[in-house]
Structures are given as C-alpha cells and as structure tokens.
Structure 1
Amino acid sequence: MANDRAYDDLMAFQRETEALAQISGRLGWDQETMMPRGAAEQRGEEMSAIEGVLHARRTDPRIAEWLDRAKPADAVAQAQLRHIRRSYNRMTKVPAALAQEIARVTSVAQGIWAEARAANDVAAFLPTLADVIRLRREEAAALAQGGDLYDALVDDYEPGATAASIGAIFDRMRPRLVALRAAVLASPHQPAALDGSFGADAQLRLTRDLASAFGYDWSRGRLDIAVHPFSSGSGNDVRITTRVAESDPFNCFYSTIHEVGHAAYEQGIDPDYRLTPLGQGVSMGVHESQSRIYENQLGRSRAFTGWLFGQMQERFGAFGISSPEEFYRTVNRVQPGYIRTEADEVQYNLHIMMRFDLERALIKGDLAVQDLEAAWNDRFLADFGVAVDRPSNGMLQDVHWSVGLFGYFPTYALGNVFAGCLLKALKADVPDLDARLAQGDASPATGWLREKLQRHGGLRLPVETITQACGFAPDEGPLLDYLEAKFGEIYRL
C-alpha cells in the first residue's frame, strides 16, 4: 500500500504542477494575441513569478522521495515516472533564480524583438539578445555539467538527440536538397505565381473551414491573429493563431493547417493522460511531424489542392489560375525567398540547417552577438544566392531566439524527416487517401495519425513513437524520395 500511495501522491502533486504550467502557457498566448503593448514589463514580472512557483514545485524534495518509493503497475505508470524523473533531474540542476530570470528576460525580450523587427533596427535588439544568450548558456552549463552546451539545450526539445546526430542527418540531406533545388530553379517549366487581392474576412472564413476539414475541435479551441503563428495549450484548451496578408492567402491557409497539425496532436491525446506528463506531445520533432504532414504532404497534395481550388473560386471568383492542375503547381511553386515560414518544401530544410549552424556557434561562443547579422547575411547569400535586403527578412524574422528557444530550430527539420516516414506508412494503410482528400475530407489521414501516433502522447520515447506508428525506424530517405518524386513531376525534371 505504501508504494501505491507514493505513486498516487506524486501524480496528484504533478497534476497541480501541470495545471499551473497550462496557466503559464495561457499568459504566453495572451501576450502574443491580446495583451496591450504597455503591459510588457509587468507581464515579464508575472511570468517570472509563476516560473518561480513552477520551479519550486518541479524541484520539491518530496518528488525524489516519491520516485524512490513508487512502484509502477503498468507501462503507463512507468512512462509517467520516466518523465517526472527526467524533469526532476534536469530542473534540480538549474538554480531557481536563474530560471526566474530567464522567464522574465525572455518575456520582455519578445516585445523588444517585435518592435525591432517592425523598425528593421537590429541594434535595438542586440543587447537584449546578448542577455538571452548569456542566460541560456548559464542554464546549459548547469544542465550539461561539463558536457556540450548545445546538446543540453537540444535535449529539452528532442530528448535523445544531439548536435552530432542531427548534424549527420543534415549532412546526408543537404546534397540531394541542393541538387533538387538547382534542377527545379533551372527548369523551363515554372508554375505561375498567384496574383491579386483576397479579402481578409473571406480568407478567415475559408481558413476556419480548412481547420475543420483537418479535424480541429472548435469546442476546445479558438483561432486568433498573431505576428508569428503558433499553437498553445493541451487537452481541452488548445488554441491556434494565424496571420493574414491580402496579397498572399496561402500564408493564412497553410499557416492555419500547420498549426492545426500541432493542435490536433494535443487534442487527440488519450483523455486519461490529461494534466499529466503523458498529456502532451513527446517532443518537438514529433510535434512538427504532425504540423508538417498536415500542411505539406496532405494540404499541398494534388488531391487536396484540387478541392481547395474549387473553394477559392467559390469565395473569390476568378483569380487568374485556370485549372486544378495549374493551381497545384502554383501552391507548390519553388522560388528564392527570405522567410522560413513561407519557404517551399524543397528549400525549407536548408533554412533550418543555416539556423542550426548559427545558433550552435552562438552557444559555443564561436560567434559573437554583434557579428550575427553579418554572419546571417553572408550565409544566406551563400546558401540561397540572394542578398538579404532588410533585417526583418534576415536575422529578425523569427521569434525563437528572442524567447530563448536555442536548440528548437533543428526539430523542424526532424519533423519533416518523421513526416516523410509517416506518409509512406499512411499511404500503404489507406489506399483511398487521395480520393477522400479530393473531396476535402482529410479524416482518413487525421484518423490514422490520431490512432497510430497522437493518442499516445508522451507514452513512448520520440524515435519509438515514430517507429511504432510507421512500422520501421525513421530516416531521411522517405522524405527525400517524396520531394524528388513530387517536384520532379511538377517541374518535369
């Protein structure tokens, strides 16, 4: 009975901690959607205060006692204890004052970044960025205890991954991606660009229908506007954001589908896991596998874009694209561009590889903050053949570094790798997939993903999660094969 009581007491304590973490997340959502600009400094203090409470709970000495005495009765209990033990071991290495200072500085830094981005003023952001990097390096040193600092940060987002393992994957991917991009851009068969103006209200009505088509549960979510689209929350409160540009409806539509992939993962987790360590996505790479397969392999497929073409004709009238096939090619158009979130499937991972190398150098100390803009611009010109025209199209475009998410970027590319594997397995298991997508019905795909992956939450380790869903261990091969086949056909290579 003592062992049962230890586990029960630990899980009751953990449930309250998870609930408080959700409140913290809701503060972050509010900050990016509805918070008045003048509240930034106060919000930083609020975030710091709640982080202090969370850190105290996550390092409570009773956790160690409960972990010692608890005897898991099944695989679910074993997984719960594994997550709690991992969190406890990591959190007890980080001083409470440091955790609170990181929360305060990154909360304020987000607003400073947003203003610097709007003004294209790198100098206004650099001192704050230097503070964020200094704090994250301190945290990494506490976690690594003599090991690699960047590995310690990556492990927070993708348990088990290292800079070396990620770098090896990227080294294998890069030659085929670079060769494919060169062939695509040199092809004489270039798709037409989308041209025209598409009203914001009509875009948002259609984007809500797209979210519904991909299974977003509106009774447990909502859609708002943000500078940088994101998904927030878990369980019964999972919110998504998008952005609208009247000249580029694809930005709104595919940002929404992407965030629905994240949200569907959280909404699809077994309800029994709610407000426990298993009640959220197991890693950011696995999370990105959901957003990327929703957005790209499903949302940009020939079948689904055929349905979307009809929807756009109904809502916007004639818009210069004459057929579903031409529309499919336009949706998947490859072109030089600055913005990662707007990048096509061929070039997206190259954007990630660049950020991966730059942030590793920043954390290692090989790249000084004041040299980051020049390093970014030089690398971008070398990798993409285009000179960066302004900071908002360069090093100020992403929110991640302002909020301290060093080690997060590579999980986007890992998510693409995982998505390629999932698509291969999905197509084998659901032979009528394209016929259903052509009707605007993504439920066979989303249902398969929910059953095979989403409902399990954090039950398994990240790579095990993908392996169990696919029936084979993940590697980059399926993704690269998919890209070469898809874009080889579109560009008649």
Structure 2
Amino acid sequence: MTAYDELMAFQRDTSALGEVAGRLGWDQEVMMPPGAEDQRAEEMAVMEKMLHQRQTNPRIGDWLAAINVADLDAVGQANIRHITHSFTRRSRMPEALATEIARVTSKAQRQWADARAANDYKAFQPVLEQVVSLKREEAAALANGGDLYDALLEDYEPGTTGNDIQKLFDALRPRLVALRDAAMGADRQPEKIIGTYPAKKQMKLSRKLAKKFGYDFGHGRLDKAVHPFSSGSGQDVRITTRTAAEDPFNCIYSTIHEVGHACYELGIDDTYLLTPLGAGVSMGVHESQSRIYENQFGRSRAFTGYLYEQMEQVFGKAPATSAEAFYGTVNRINKGYIRTEADEVQYNLHVMLRFDLERRLIDGQLDVADLEEAWNARFAADFGYEVDKASNGVLQDVHWSVGLIGYFPTYALGNIYAGCLNEALRADLPDLDAELARGKATYATKWLGQNLQQFGGLREPIATIEHACGKPVSVEPLLSYLEQKFSDIYKL
C-alpha cells in the first residue's frame, strides 16, 4: 500500500468510530432512559478520547509528509486538504480537554432540558459556566494567537471569520427590519392559525411529506425530540421533529427542514463513504439545504396549495379558509420568541442576536451569570417586546449546552446560500411551481443532488455554492426573494 492508501484506511476506521459516537448522541436525545445520564457521559468521554487519539496520531503526520499531493487526482487532493486541516487543529487540542468537554456537555444536555422544562436559567447556569470555560480553553488552544471566536467558527464554516459574518449581517439587517415593520403595519394581514391537531396525525403527515422531499426511510427514521435535529451520514441518517397541538407547522416544517439536512448526507456520492468527503462540507452549506427545502420549496405558494389539501385529508380541516389564505397563514409574520418557529423575514434577526452574545461570551466581554439579562435586553431592543419566560429566551436552544459555539451564524449563512441556489435552480427549472403544486418536491431536490449534494466535501464551502450557482455568493438573491414574496402576501 502507498502512504495515501494507508492514510485513507486509517481514516475510514476513524470515520466509522465517529459515526458510532454520533449514534450515541442520537440515542441520548431520542431514546436513552433518563437514569443513564452519568454513564452516557462517561461513554461519550471515552469515545471522544479514542477519536482524539486517532485524529492526532503521529502516523498521520508521517503519511502526509510522504504523500506528493501533486500526484493525486481532485478527490485525493480534497481528502488530503481535509485531513491536514483536521490533524493540524486537533493536534493543538489537549486530549484531556477534549475528553472533559465531551463529558461535561453530555451532562449539560440533560440539565439544559430539565432547566428548560422548569423555566429556570439559574439551574442551568453552573454547568453552562463549565461549558463556556472549557470552550474558551479550546479556542485559546486552536487560535494559535489568533481570534478566539474565529477559532471555534472554523469548525463549522472553514475559511470564514466573525468579521466576514458581521459584514453580511450588516448588509441584511436594515432591509429585513424595514420589510418586517412594513408587513406588520400593513392593512392586509394573513389569517392566524386556528384549531388543534393531534400529534399522531401530525407525525403521519410529516412522514408522508418527508418521502415527498426524497427522504429514504430505508436509510433513516423519524422520531420526536425536544429540539429537532438530523444525525449521521452515509447509509444511516436519522431525523427528529416535535409536535405542538395548536401549531402543526412546528412539526411539519421542522421535519422538512431536517429532511434537507438528511438528504444532503444521503445524496453524497457513495464512493466517498467514511472518507473526509463523505459528509457535508460545512454547516452553512448544510443549512442551505435545510432552509431551501423548508422555505423556498415548502413555504412556496405552489407547495402550500398541495399541503392545504393534505391537511384537509389528514385532519379533516386545514388552519385557514382557502388554499390562498393558507399560503398567507403559513408565511404570516408573527410576534414570537422561538427561532425555529420564526418566519423567513425575522429568522436571521434571531441568529444575529445569538451570534453577538456568543461572540461576547468567548471574548470574555459577557459572563454566563449575566447572559439571561443580556439576552432579554437584546431581544426587547430587536423585537420590541419582552421575553416572558426562559424557555422562550435564553434556554430555547440546545446548542450552547452541547458546546456548539460558533454554530449559530451558519444558519444565516445557509439562508444566504439558499437564496443563491433558489435563483439558480429556478432559472434551470421553469416548471418548478407546477411540479410543487402536485407535491413533487423531488423535481427541485434532484437538482440540488446533481449540482451540490453529490459532491460532499470535494470543494471548499463557498466554492461548493458557487459551483452550483455559477456565480459569486451575494445577499441580494435572498433579500430580493423575501421582498418580492412578502410584498405580494401583504400587498405592500
């Protein structure tokens, strides 16, 4: 075997071990009995220790030194790029620190869920202080003298900095706020959602919609969790959703969103299985898939016409008086606290709030003890009303409890990327709305599979989007799409 062959064989085993660790995390969220919390924390810590040892094994450095990258094809060169990046970063991370982060975040996850149910931030504060302290240590180890927040962001969106994100947000905010204010002040207001919808029927409809969007239940499953997520890659990609009796859209659109994530992973070329190219290239690109499935496809006038008929069949009623009214109800701009339930116009404002707060946490400008107060003050300033309880505020998201600091801005990046992709695919698919009106979402999702998903980690994140779109990334397609759509709905 060549040095490259030996390296890739080693990498496959490491990737397989990582998938097992991911399955433990899925089980913890979905099926683990609550009394297993302490043992699972130890199991997760051991798995992280083993992964860290493999990812920093000195043989990787030897293999990399022995490989002439110029002799490799594009796939081989991309594999080496990913392995070199991971090896360099992981080698800066002390094994004991990586292990402790896994142990603490495993416990923090359960404590967050309990505190959220009790609306008690103070109960969660001590363990969050541990998490933030550990993540600051990690950032210092990874930054190598550079910006601490950027060091964490690199795990989720390689090549992008906090300042890059800030510039994009500065370009988005004024027009988003102006559009929100105009819509909420308009004379025409869409109907509000009405009625109650049994959880079992919501799940039944969600499974049908998941199939309509191309989700393969032969390689996945749909369960319920406190916070919806997608888990896994390759041949086993699982999704979760949640139900609320008076808000079936929560379940429906959480499902479609997670299907977008799952279809990205399932759509990657099989030859990349258990290699660095066999997973989504970044969380921003990942979010582009979930957000375009959920919004540009799932909340389109064409598809909501189909969904209206499906809700009438499943529930015996739909939460609006007509298909056209239903389109407005689905896209209604509401006052609300929850990011995952936010309309397309306000969603990125929720992300901006989190981005600013977590950046200050890592930089040491904000203490965990002051986080709830800072959240509530910022929310009131951005949205114009007060947070009523912690589960609608600082405790609503799972991310910080599991150490995912640097993740939040990728949601907004995903929206920007989705705007670019939507513009490109609609130019290629002039009959898209006619297909969506028949419930045939795979007409659109196959385009994404062919132009983006199949390539996995072959290209850098920005290059992945630009390859699919054929033009540079810009905020303009997203803003134009939103302004056109909501000006129509609200008759602005």
Give the TM-score of the pair, scaled to structure 2: 0.99
State the shift of 1:436 in Å.
0.2
* Secondary structure, counterpart of 2:401 in structure 1: coil
Tell me the CA shift for residue 320 of structure 1. Answer: 5.1
**Aligned partner (choices 5, 10, 13) of residue 13 of structure 1:** 10
| Maintained 8 Å contact 2:426/2:432 | yes
Supply the distance in 1 between the matched residues of 2:140 and 2:474 (Cα, whole angstroms).
31
Retained in 2: the 8 A contact 1:176–1:480?
Answer: yes
Structure 1 position 322, deviation (Å): 2.1
User: SS of the residue aligned with 1:197?
Assistant: coil
1:477 corresponds to: 476
Shift of 1:244: 0.9
1:302-324, Cα deviation, whole Å (9 max, x unpaired): 00000000111111123452211
Match of 1:104 in 2: 103
Q: What is the rounded CA distance, in whole Å, between the counterparts of 2:106 and 2:408 in structure 1?
A: 19
Residue 82 (structure 1) aligns with: 81
Among 33, 48, 51, which residue is 2:48 paired with? 51
Deviations 1:93-116 (A, max 9, x none): 000000000000000000011101
SS in 1 for 2:423: helix
> Does 2:193 correspond to 1:194?
yes
* 2:20 corresponds to: 23
Q: Distance in 2 between matches of 1:423 and 1:321?
A: 27
Deviations 1:262-306 (A, max 9, x none): 000000000000000000000000000000000000000000000
The answer as to whether partners of 1:420 and 1:482 remain within 8 angstroms in 2 is yes
- 1:253 corresponding residue in structure 2: 252
Which residue of 2 is the match for residue 342 of structure 1?
Answer: 341
* Aligned equivalent of 1:316: 315
Partner Cα distance (1:179, 1:120) in 2: 33
- 1:65 corresponds to which of 59, 62, 65: 62
User: Which residue does 1:153 correspond to in 2?
Assistant: 152
Ranges of 4+ aligned residues in structure 1 off by more than 6 Å:
none
Q: Does 1:136 align with 2:135?
A: yes
Q: Secondary structure at the match of 1:418?
A: helix
Q: Deviations over 1:441-483 (max 9, x none)?
A: 0111110000000000000000000000000011111000000
2:33 to 17, 32, 36: 36
Unaligned runs of 5+ in 2: none
SS of 2:131's partner is helix
Task: Give 2:331's aligned residue.
Answer: 332
Deviation at 1:69, TM superposition (A): 1.0
Q: How far apart in 1 are the matches of 2:91 and 2:199?
A: 48
1:17 and 1:209 map into 2 onto residues whose CA distance is 35
Aligned residues of 2:308 and 2:318 also touching (Cα < 8 A): no
Alignment of 1:421-432 (within 5 A): 421-432=420-431
Structure 2 distance, partners of 1:174, 1:204, is 35
Cα distance 1:381–1:19, how it changes in 2: closer, same or farther (>3 A)? same
Residue 401 of structure 1 aligns to a residue whose secondary structure is: helix
Distance in 2 of aligned mates of 1:8 and 1:247: 55
CA distance in 2: counterparts of 1:382 and 1:89, whole angstroms = 41
SS of match in other structure, 1:224 = strand
Paired letter, 1:22: E
Matched-pair contact (CA < 8 Å) for 1:191–1:330: yes
Give the structure 2 partner of residue 352 of structure 1: 351
Q: How does 1:164-243 map to 2 (within 5 A)?
A: 164-243=163-242
Deviation at 1:71, TM superposition (A): 3.0
* Partner of residue 440, structure 1: 439
Distance in 2, matches of 1:331 and 1:180, equals 17
Matches within 5 A, 1:275-286: 275-286=274-285
Instruction: Give the AA of the match of 1:200.
Output: A
User: Secondary structure of 1:237's partner?
Assistant: coil
Question: Contact 1:7–1:71 (CA<8 Å) still a contact in 2?
Answer: no
Kindly state the Cα deviation for residue 403 of structure 1 after the two structures are TM-superposed. Answer: 0.5
Secondary structure in 1 matching 2:399 = coil
Q: Give the superposition deviation at 1:146.
A: 1.2
Native 8 Å contact 1:59 1:92 kept in 2: yes
Instruction: Give distance in 2, aligned partners of 1:319 and 1:327.
Output: 8
Residue 71 of structure 1 aligns with an amino acid whose one-letter code is: N
Q: When the two structures are aligned, how many residues end up with a matched partner?
A: 490
- Deviation (angstroms), 1:201: 1.4
* Aligned residue type for 2:147: D
How far apart, in 2, do the equivalents of 1:485 and 1:135 lie?
45
Q: Secondary structure at the match of 2:239?
A: strand
**Aligned equivalents of 2:246 and 2:329: distance in 1?**
14
CA RMSD of aligned residues (A): 0.7
What SS class does the counterpart of residue 402 from structure 1 fall into? helix
Q: Match for 2:475: what amino acid?
A: E
User: Which one-letter code corresponds to 1:52 in the other structure?
Assistant: K
Structure 2 Cα separation of the partners of residues 313 and 223 of structure 1: 23
1:372 maps to amino acid: L
Check whether the contact 2:44–2:106 (CA below 8 A) recurs between aligned residues.
yes
AA paired with 2:13?
E
Report the identity percentage.
65
Partner of residue 410, structure 1: 409
2 CA distance for matches of 1:200 and 1:289?
28
Partner AA of 2:416 in structure 1: V
Question: For residues 60 and 320 of structure 1, do their structure 2 counterparts lie closer, same or farther at Cα, with a shift above 3 Å needed?
Answer: closer
* Secondary structure in 1 matching 2:411: helix
Residue type matched to 1:34 in 2?
A: M
Say if 1:207 and 1:256, in contact at 8 Å, map to a contact too.
yes
1: CA distance, partners of 2:319 / 2:259:
28
Letter in 2 for 1:14: Q
Query: What is the CA deviation profile of residues 383-425 of structure 1, one whole-angstrom value per residue up to 9, with x for unaligned ones?
Result: 0011000000010000000011110000000000000000000
**Secondary structure class of the residue paired with 1:441:** coil
Contact 1:43–1:107 at 8 Å: present in 2 too? yes
Q: Which runs of 5+ in 1 are unaligned?
A: none
Residues 69-125 of structure 1, C-alpha deviation per residue, up to 9 Å, x if partnerless? 123420000000000000000000000000000000000000011101101111111
**2:42 maps to amino acid:** E
Cα separation, partners in 2 of 1:448 and 1:320, compared to 1, 3 Å: closer
Counterpart-to-counterpart distance in 2, 1:461 and 1:315: 43
8 Å Cα contact 1:10-1:63 kept in structure 2:
yes
The equivalent of 2:487 in structure 1 is 488
CA distance in 2, matches of 1:151, 1:322: 49
Aligned residues of 2:319 and 2:326 also touching (Cα < 8 A): no
